[in-house]
Amino acid sequence: MEFAHPEALVSADWLAEHYQDPDIRIVDATHHLPISERDAKEEFGFRHIPGAVFFDVDDICNQETDLPHMIPSPESFAERVGRLGIGNEHRVVVYDTAGGFLAAARVWWMFRLYGHVKVMVLDGGLPQWGRRRLPVEKGRKRVKGAKFKAGFNPAMVRDITQVQANLDSGAELVVDARSPRRFLGQDWEPRKCKRLGHIPGSVNLPFPELMVSRKDYLYRSPDEMADAFAKAGIDFSKTVVATCGSGLTAAVLAFGAYLLGHENVAVYDGSWAEWGNREDLPYDRSGPHPGEDGGITPAAAE
């Protein structure tokens, strides 16, 4: 089995050959949890792939809500990425320090949401780049602005009203990317939350199931990835809606599904940060009990 969209996932070796191409734009989308006491923007200044610009998901977002990194308007997105020197003519390569398993997939999804299909994720992210002793640079450079025209594909995103309506219709399958213990309400949430558990009727596929290991941070083979989706009971004959803690790692599932050729995966933007704080909405804490290794590390617990 091969990926249906292999062009969406590039290796460090490929990028090493192409990072200086004039039509390539490299984006560092690193994001850390608020409790980590780490500053991704500051770390970018210490070390990043040459020519990269920093995409702050907590800045390029809807600033009029208390919910974390909700999508901005198309006009706002276009203006901000244009300031980063990215135009519609460019091929965009997105990476993060978690191998592409946190905000890199989210930024990939955002570009596609706003109509830009020439976007790729760096497999293994900065860790794989570093292991190959490829060049890095420090500091920040001024970039020349570019013209970016944004569209918008509403089929790729869901809001709370749509997810609530699906409780009755069951037309779409909601898949939760969080750890089993968080899905069952047995573990903490990294953000303040009134209730623990999951959206009724949803199934659980923790996003690390799509990676080779937490040491390599590489995406699994097509067969292994397809098997992970199948074991989670995901039927792609239905439209799939991915959710997580705040809308970041839900995009990992959307990205993995896209690699396999399943393009009918939307992201519930508010995710549990929104649903878990709404006392008027139902929630569930039932399901199979996770094994001892069912949890994931706090650093990857978006």
Among residues 158, 176, 140, which one has the least CA distance to residue 253? Answer: 176
Using CA atoms of 33, 35, 40, 43 in order, give the dihedral in degrees to the nearest 10.
-140
Among candidate residues 244, 250, 273, 300, the one labeled active-site is 244
CA 254 to CA 191: how far, in whole Å? 23
For residue 275, with 0-12 CB atoms within 10 Å meaning exposed, 13-18 middle and 19 or more buried, which class applies?
buried
DSSP tag of 3: -
* String of DSSP letters for 129-175: HHHTT---B-S--------------GGGEE-HHHHHHHHHH--EEEE
Active site residue 61: no
- Backbone dihedral region for residue 204 (phi beyond 0: left; psi -120 to 50: alpha; all else: beta): beta
Active site residue ranges = 244
